[in-house]
Amino acid sequence: MIQHGVSLGIGTSHGPLLNLPPAEWEVRAEFDRAQTDLALRDGTFSFAELYAHRGGPHFAAKATLDERTQRHAACQRQLDVLGERLDDINPDALIIVGDDQHEWFMENTQPSFAVFCGDEMHNLAPTAEEREEKIRRGRGSDMYAYRPKIDQVYPVVRDLALRIHAQALEDEFDVAACMEQPKNPDGSLRTVGHAVGFIYRRLLRDRPVPVVPILVNTFYPPNQPTPKRCYDFGRSIGRAIHAWDSAARVAVIASGGISHFVVDEEWDHKMLKAFRNGDIATLTSEPNIMFRSGTSETKNWIVAAGILEATSLKMELLDYVPCYRTDAGTGSGMAFATWS
């Protein structure tokens, strides 16, 4: 049966621990131990300060190789399920909400919200130099979670992207229009960012389903939109989809989150419960300072929740898996959900 509008929503973490064998998580642990600005709620800590703040070594038992292996496997099971759900509804269009981490947008211009309106997007295979650099940083294993082995082209639903812009203007959002894929100073294309690339590589297995990329600056000061603004922008996107005169089956995907690179299970449960209950008040009143570092990507889920508000789809949490890689509780809170 052809359904008008949104047929499926997905929320998925996309962090590096999903793409590194558990024995290689140590590489990221070393990275954590060198940090001086680990963000947890409204505090900022060095690794030693974080270890003391969180009351010592009890996270070590959750970060053993055995635990890592079990938790990694639990995540892979849910990523497979999400891929199957996408196969089942066979969408004609994807709305992917993700953050740009200096992949398309750099320090010179960083839009709070951007909608890509080109005809197609190119996800490029890593160059030999990029491969070497990744391997040098100990992250060779996760390279192909985001980037293809052979260049890929993804068609863009330009008509819907332009409608999202038009609706945003109606709704008093001034959203950046990205009319062509950004280029590097040498004229080469900037490849698709990790938040979008992960969905194509891991969930779609490179199936070139047409897409509208919605890019949110969750990470970088000074212009990260507030949770309320994210939710309201999502509502506006939802109105644009609803008014689109098309029989297309649309899937909405939030890419990223939940808490990282300091795992905060209590906060993750609070937010996931709010998503499940459609608790807009909780989602939109959370202070902006709670959304820092990778945790900020939870705002991608808030945009998606706003898009899905006017549908009859209900959120189901498939699994929440806190993945720890150090005894100070650094790692990623991984969540996998559908709205169906």
Binding site for Fe ion (CB under 5 A): 256
117 vs 214 by CB, closer to Fe ion: 214
Please choose, from the candidates 191, 194, 135, the residue with its C-alpha nearest in 3D space to the C-alpha of residue 16: 194
CB 306 within 8 A of CB 232: yes
To Fe ion, the closest distance from the beta carbon of 143 in angstroms equals 15
> 256 or 322: whose CB is closer to Fe ion?
256
- Distance of closest approach, residue 124 Cβ to Fe ion, in angstroms: 19
For Fe ion, the closer of residues 305 and 334 by Cβ is 334
Least separation in angstroms between CB 171 and Fe ion: 27
Structure tokens belonging to residue 286: 């959370």
3-state SS track over 42-92: CEEECHHHHHHHCCCHHHHHHCCHHHHHHHHHHHHHHHHHHHHHHHHHCCC
Residue sitting closest to Fe ion (CB): 256
Find out whether 326 and 59 touch, Cβ atoms under 8 Å: yes
Position 204, amino acid: L
Cβ distance to Fe ion smaller for residue 25 or 51:
25
Min dist. Cβ of residue 146 to Fe ion (A): 9
Nearer to Fe ion, 78 or 101 (CB): 101
Q: Which two tokens stand for residue 54?
A: 């969180």
Tokens 């609706």 appear where? 167
How is residue 192 written in tokens? 């698709």
211: nearest Cα among 248, 169, 166: 248
Min CB(290)–Fe ion separation in Å: 17
Min dist CB 256 to Fe ion, Å, is 5
Alpha-carbon span 12 to 275, nearest angstrom = 13
Q: 152 or 255: whose CB is closer to Fe ion?
A: 255
Q: Measuring CA to CA, which residue among 93, 201, 101, 225 is closest to residue 143? A: 201
Q: How far is the CB of 177 from Fe ion (least distance, A)?
A: 23
Amino acid in the structure at residue 315: M
Q: How far is the CB of 58 from Fe ion (least distance, A)?
A: 27
- Between 5 and 333, name the residue whose CB sits nearer to Fe ion: 333
Q: Which is nearer to Fe ion, 5 or 227 (CB)?
A: 227
Distance of CA 300 to CAs 47, 64, 137, 145, Å? 27, 31, 28, 19
Q: Are 253 and 199 in contact (CB under 8 A)?
A: yes
| CB nearer Fe ion, residue 148 or residue 256 | 256
**Residue 304 CB-density burial (10 A; 0-12 exposed, 13-18 middle, 19+ buried):** buried
Closest CB 297 distance from Fe ion, rounded Å: 5
Between strands 249-255 and 5-12, the pairing is parallel
Peptide bond preceding 47 in cis form (omega within 30 of 0): no
